[in-house]
Amino acid sequence: MLNEAVNLVNSPRTGEGPERRVRDRGATERTILAAAKGLLAEEGFQNFGINAVARRAGCDKQLIYRYYGGLDGLVEAIGADLGTWVKDRIPEDAGGMFLLTYGDLMERLSLLLLDALRNDPLMRRILAWEISENTEQVRRLSEARSKALALWLERMRGSLAPPKGVDATAVNAVVIAAIQHLVLAAAAGGQCAGLSLKTPKDWEKAATALKRIVRGVYG
């Protein structure tokens, strides 16, 4: 693990001191952020504190205050990182599909979101907290994720519009809620309402059903 405190007190080598210090700070910030995310994913907010994050990151806790301003600033940084999560896991491209209708767009978003949530334990934690913990920290993370998804949809839709008479906001909320519940139910018990969610073939069934629902509304 990184320990920037050592780098700061040691004399830099000739010609590379400032650059090395900047590089070490950036690396330490990333290490702290990764440690905080890992701690949240595994243990939740109950054991989420400056000392615990510092131990996992292998750094002095004063660096967390220096770089993030404390625990609240670290939560803000995780929230900001969720926007990057959306860009990384839900890319802004057609993925080989022809997005000719709003239904095409929502099918792609739904399938990408399903796959992304299945493979991210921290995001599943956040989803579970949204429905069980009404705290300021949870609200920050929830709002950051929701905003990033809304921005993705806004950028990708262009001139595409849902069919007349369809309340897209309500329909999309129900579709996203269904995706989130499937993922949480699978993590908790490997099934949802009698549908097994353990094997790739099980998830193919879920994805097929999801596509049919989206197409049933949007065509």
Beta-carbon count within 10 A of 10 CB: 10
pLDDT band at 3 (very low <50, low <70, confident <90, very high): very low
* Cβ-based neighbours of 49, under 8 Å, separated by 6 or more: 71
Q: Do residues 128 and 208 both lie within one domain?
A: yes
Residue 22 has pLDDT above 60, yes or no: no
pTM of the model: 0.73
Beta-carbon count within 10 A of 153 CB: 16
Residue 80 class from Cβ within 10 Å (0-12 exposed, 13-18 middle, 19+ buried)?
middle
Residues of the domain holding 131: 85-218
Place of tokens 């999560």: 85
Phi, psi angle pair for 191, to nearest 5°:
-160, 165
* Cβ-based neighbours of 11, under 8 Å, separated by 6 or more: none
Number of domains comprising the chain? 2
Q: Do residues 38 and 101 both lie within one domain?
A: no
Write down the number of H helices and E strands in the chain.
Answer: 10, 2
Structure token pair of residue 100: 């000719």
pLDDT at 96: 59
Q: Do residues 22 and 53 both lie within one domain?
A: yes
**Of all helices (H) and strands (E), which one includes residue 142?**
helix 136-157
pLDDT band at 94 (very low <50, low <70, confident <90, very high): low
Residue type, 171: V
Write the CATH number for 43: 1.10.10.60
Q: Do residues 175 and 128 both lie within one domain?
A: yes
Is 77 among the domain residues? no
The secondary structure of 23-54 as a DSSP string is HHHHHHHHHHHHHHHHHHHHH-GGG--HHHHH
Is 5 among the domain residues? no
Q: Do residues 59 and 132 both lie within one domain?
A: no
Is 39 among the domain residues? yes
Q: Do residues 93 and 167 both lie within one domain?
A: yes
pLDDT band at 1 (very low <50, low <70, confident <90, very high): very low
Is 43 among the domain residues? yes
Q: Do residues 42 and 92 both lie within one domain?
A: no
pLDDT at 177: 93
